[in-house]
Amino acid sequence: MNFLVNYFSGLGKSTLNRVNGVGAASIMLYGALFAFPQWKNIRLTISQIYIVGVQSLLIVMVSGLFIGMVMALQGYTILVNYGAEGSLGPMVALSILRELGPVVTALLFAGRAGSALTAEIGLMKATEQLSSLEMMAIDPLRRVVSPRFWAGIISLPMLTLIFSAIGILGGHLVGVDWLGVDAGSYWSIMQATVEWEKDVVNGIIKSAVFALVIVWIALYKGYSCIPTSEGISQATTQTVVYSSLAILGLDFILTALMFGI
């Protein structure tokens, strides 16, 4: 009997904890989203765009180049069997614009920027900087969380666009300059196939959704971590794992909504 009571109380406790977590995360999201209109915070946001966006630029550009190049190489070896290597352009462009661009950039962003955000906020909490801010009557949501939040949401779609453009140029580098696909057909069939709203804008929408989820998870995990060195390391790991899974899961749902029947 005692065993049964213990079981149910454990179940109830974990459920309550989870609901509490969701609630706290939602309150944080609300606070961060609606703290933006303060114009004095714009400088803080810009310096966060530098840390979150500009510093992720190199890894995103290099990955974009190599993914475009490898897509062209793999696509060419298959398409050439059917004499359809002219379709290399749309294949590279569509797969990068619709899927690889948003997803790979978001995964890189979660690893490069999301983990750093969690560790930073977690250490601020561990060294009681957040409590000190509150003591000085400064809302840490407004001063610390909100600029990072908006910086992430602004940066990731831009990084995705850069990734896609460089990936398509990388595909051109391998497909046209190395393997000898006709440059005219690479661009013209691509232009005939790719559509602005359906392919490019949907990719941007995807990456904006991913950005929201990544920074939300990263900031919440940092804000709510156990303020010890072990707690921070755990929170950082959880940020990367949860946001990667969320990206892949959401990608399927968004793709089904955008391109499904």
Residues in contact with another protein by the rule CB under 8 A? 43, 46-47, 49-50, 53-54, 57, 82, 84, 93, 97, 155, 158-159, 161-162, 164-166, 168-169, 187, 190-196, 199-200
DSSP string, 49-95: HHHHTGGGHHHHHHHHHHHHHHHHHHHHHHHGGGT-GGGHHHHHHHH
Q: What does the DSSP 8-state code read for residue 127?
A: T
Tell me the closest approach of the beta carbon of residue 190 to another protein, in angstroms: 6
CB atoms within 10 A of CB 16: 10
Tell me the closest approach of the beta carbon of residue 172 to another protein, in angstroms: 10
Tell me the closest approach of the beta carbon of residue 199 to another protein, in angstroms: 8
Tell me the closest approach of the beta carbon of residue 50 to another protein, in angstroms: 4
Could you give the CA distance from residue 178 to residue 253 in angstroms, rounded to a whole number?
Answer: 37
Tell me the closest approach of the beta carbon of residue 97 to another protein, in angstroms: 7
> Between 45 and 244, whose beta carbon lies closer to another protein?
45
Q: What six digits make up the tokens of 249?
A: 């899961």
> Between 28 and 120, whose beta carbon lies closer to another protein?
120
> Between 7 and 259, whose beta carbon lies closer to another protein?
259
Helix (H/G/I), strand (E/B), else coil: 38? coil
What sections of the chain are H helices per DSSP?
2-33, 42-52, 57-79, 88-95, 101-109, 115-126, 129-135, 140, 146-172, 183-193, 202-223, 229-259
Q: Are 235 and 185 in contact (CB under 8 A)?
A: no
> Between 190 and 235, whose beta carbon lies closer to another protein?
190
> Between 5 and 83, whose beta carbon lies closer to another protein?
83
Tell me the closest approach of the beta carbon of residue 150 to another protein, in angstroms: 13
Q: Are 91 and 79 in contact (CB under 8 A)?
A: yes
Nearest Cα to Cα of residue 78 among 65, 92, 94, 64: 92
> Between 168 and 209, whose beta carbon lies closer to another protein?
168
> Between 88 and 130, whose beta carbon lies closer to another protein?
88
Tell me the closest approach of the beta carbon of residue 242 to another protein, in angstroms: 27
Q: What six digits make up the tokens of 207?
A: 């990456």
Which residue matches tokens 């714009």?
Answer: 42
